[in-house]
Structure 1
């Protein structure tokens, strides 16, 4: 297991460098001039040139990226071009929102997806058909459209949950939960159907194996068979898909945060991209890369728990 963690650590460094370099190159092709955005359309060419020089925007791209990378090694994500505030501070104020949204969505997806998958594998019939139908809807309907519908029904019409905004848990735990309900549902619906379908197919495969028949013949209860044997073996392939779903939840959070006006990393990187604030975009990109690395590590650790052979191989 330690070897696995060491390998992940090496891969993490490579992933951060490659992803940040890709962001840096792609942002160089995005139309816009930070100096022009700051000074306005009526700024003189001389003023624009002086500002570009003071911000270091007139230097070659490889020098700009090199300076940023050396700063990252020292733990410095740079400062915002527009506000002058440290990027680490701006991210620290918003990362809790995105993590709360993401963790809540993954937990909901895992619990309801696994439960529906097991239920449809055991009952089959109409339950399986419902899972198939809902799965198609989950694939077809985009998350932001679901978010708008949820706001229209539960926030505008029924007035059960707030339509927009975020309440920190330190201010009001109840308000924090209420502000996350609709965003979490919007992010979770598609993932629940995907996990439910995978769990159902995996559980069916396990239920058809000979050792399950032997366990039933020994008189072991169906509940113990499902929880101790079927669930554990069917969870191995489902765990892989859950990890991929968690990554997709992270990307979907960018859109959902803008729909519900949540002050998270998604809304931060969106506004920074529109203003061509490269240090913020790079900083958020590093945080997203770290989150993806943590997800992959947790998936590998889950393999070790569910399948002892994986620990031996690693």
Structure 2
């Protein structure tokens, strides 16, 4: 075994994470679910979501058979909901095409929705011990610093170099442990800020440490001005305390989730409110900003209390009046759930 992998595995045996819920058992479904959840999200946040998800949907077949509303409700709060929809669709495709299992063939696995090269490698390495490299954000940081690679890791030329190094370092044995080890090192030692180089098993060969470049590597993503968009959210609440929710369309942000009806300004908000309910007055609530990866959304909630539903609204499958007890079972965007919690004080 090459020195890089040997040093990393020796460190992992003493200091690595061995008690994560997806490691017991470390089967393909649990590894896959954890890998998708861990995209853009830290382990400390994911653990609770993972445990709730597998308690409700313990197998790939259970996930494939679940209603989308249940999947999105279990995902609610993790953000990047496209991951959940891809997860659901991939499970259905596995039932249709692969006998209800994640395929062990790399190309077939990587062809499923939401599973790219690194995720496919992580599943095959951890669940089956097959020799495939991975390159998630933590691994990119470790390899960038160790090899002294300049430039933004998301650029194709830089990423190509990183894949070459990732493949070269991946051992032929103990692949599952090695895969977890290099992710653990990036998450707990070779951190984005204040890396603990004195505790790193690779520090002796690390170019970034040798040259004083740990703060400069990896290179930053080229800066872009983040645009700010604005919306008015309609909180139509009836005398029973129910709020009107609207299922968002298949395109755009929060697609498929239940949310509050929206409008571009106050006049449009009043017009939309009158389409859905009989109303008399409105109250502006405190505005707030929700940050997405590519823009910020300034949300102004407009509360229409005492609204009464006109006839015919029950015939629209994309509109529903919901009490506080019903909201926990629905996939709601995090800022909408938080807003309704603040209004009701008792929504799960």
TM surpasses 0.5: no
Normalised to the residue count of structure 1, the TM-score between the two structures is: 0.21
Q: Which has the higher helix share?
A: 1
Higher relative contact order (CA 8 A, sep 6+): 1
Normalised to the residue count of structure 2, the TM-score between the two structures is: 0.19
Q: Which has the higher strand share?
A: 2
